[in-house]
Structures are given as C-alpha cells and as structure tokens.
Amino acid sequence: MADHEHHHHHHHDHDHSELSETELRVRALETILTEKGYVDPAALDELIETYETKVGPRNGAQVVAKAWSDPAYRERLLHDATAAIAELGYTGRQGEHIVAVENTPATHNMVVCTLCSCYPWPVLGLPPVWYKSAPYRSRVVKEPRAVLAEFGVTLPQDTAIRVWDSTAEIRYLVLPMRPEGSDDFSEGQLADLVTRDSMIGTGLARTPAEIPA
C-alpha cells in the first residue's frame, strides 16, 4: 500500500479578493485602535490565541468525545458529519459541509487546504498560523510523515497516511483514535483528551497520563 494518499477535490470558488480585503480592513482597524490606545496588541494576540486553541476547538472536542462514547453518534458522524455536528448546536459559516475521517491503527488522516486556508470554524475555531502557511500547505502533501515528525508524531511504518484537501465546498474533521486507559472516562473527561491538532491530524489525542491531576 502506498505510504500516503492525497485526496484532492479542489473546485475552489474562493473570492480571494474578498478575503484579502477583509484581512486588510481588520489590520487597518487594529492599527487605528492600537494607535488611539483603545487596544493593547498583546491582549489582542492573547484573545486570538484563546479562540485558536481553546474556545473553538472545545466544540470539536465535544464532538469527538461523544463519538468515542456513543457508537450510534459515531456512525452518524461518519455518515453525515454536518448533521451530526449540528445535533450538538455547532453550525455556521465555514461549517456548511464537513466530512469526518476516522483514524485507525492502519490509517492516519491529515487535513490541509493547499490553495488557501479552508477550515471548519464551528468545530475548530480560528485556523492556526501554521495551517495557513505555504510550507505546511505544500509539504504535508509531499512528505506527510516528515511533517508529522516535526509535530512530534511518529507512526508505525505500516500505518498509511491520507491527506485530505479542504475546499470551499468540503472541510474535514479528523476523528482521532481513543487513547488507551480511557474506558471509564465520562464525555467531559474524554473531551479533555482531545487536542486541536488531533482533529487536524498533526497530533494525537492526549493519553490519560498527560492530563494534570
């Protein structure tokens, strides 16, 4: 079996001019507010970091935890992720069509958007800076195993790696493998094991030993 597969379905209808114009407006507004003393850039960075790593991904963590603990929900998630995610109240822009892909001992999934930075906002919040970077977007397709290693993840050589390319029409959510030793965990405890990177595929879920007592 090939070491990795790249699933590319790009029919990108992005209005890049609109995106760049929006980003420029945001930066201009940030500059004005900072110059007038209304905004502390450090506080703004901290707020963005919170949404990137904590608030947004908590939604996805709830989805994964429910899938781990409820086999019927897991089946619904893998069959129609958009509808299953909506059951938990997570809907909205950038989440109109989400596909869940499941990690197994035989297959590890990773998500990228090679043309820009499509990302399932309702379940993962804001995309991290590295996800939008050109090196990640180009290298993860060509050498996913090396990119994983840079994130601190080493998989068995016989584990196939599949790279899914998000588009304007489809975004992907990785359902990571449930860690060993979590059989007696509640959904809330399970959610604490789920990291943002594990739902992108650049990381694994935490083990129970990694959670502070």
138 known ligand binder: no
Tokens representing 106? 């035989």
Q: Which of 17, 20, 69, 116 is catalytic?
A: 116
Q: Is 117 a catalytic residue?
A: yes
Residue 68: CB partners within 8 Å, gap ≥ 6? 74, 178, 182, 190
Q: Is 20 a catalytic residue?
A: no
Residue 187: CB partners within 8 Å, gap ≥ 6? 62, 65, 66, 69
Q: Which of 17, 69, 117, 186 is catalytic?
A: 117
Q: Is 118 a catalytic residue?
A: yes
Q: Which of 113, 166, 182, 198 is catalytic?
A: 113
Residue 141: CB partners within 8 Å, gap ≥ 6? 6, 112, 114, 163, 165
Residue 179 has φ and ψ, to the nearest 5°, of -65, 150
Best CA proximity match to 53, nearest among 192, 195, 181, 191: 195
Tokens representing 189? 């405890």
166 known ligand binder: no
CA–CA gap between residue 107 and residue 149 (Å, rounded): 16
Neighbours of 99 (CB within 10 A): 19
Q: Which of 69, 118, 182, 198 is catalytic?
A: 118
CA–CA gap between residue 186 and residue 159 (Å, rounded): 29
113 known ligand binder: yes
Q: Is 198 a catalytic residue?
A: no
Q: Which residues are annotated as a binding site for Fe(3+)?
A: 113, 116-118
Q: Which residues are annotated as a binding site?
A: 113, 116-118
Give the active site residues. 113, 116-118
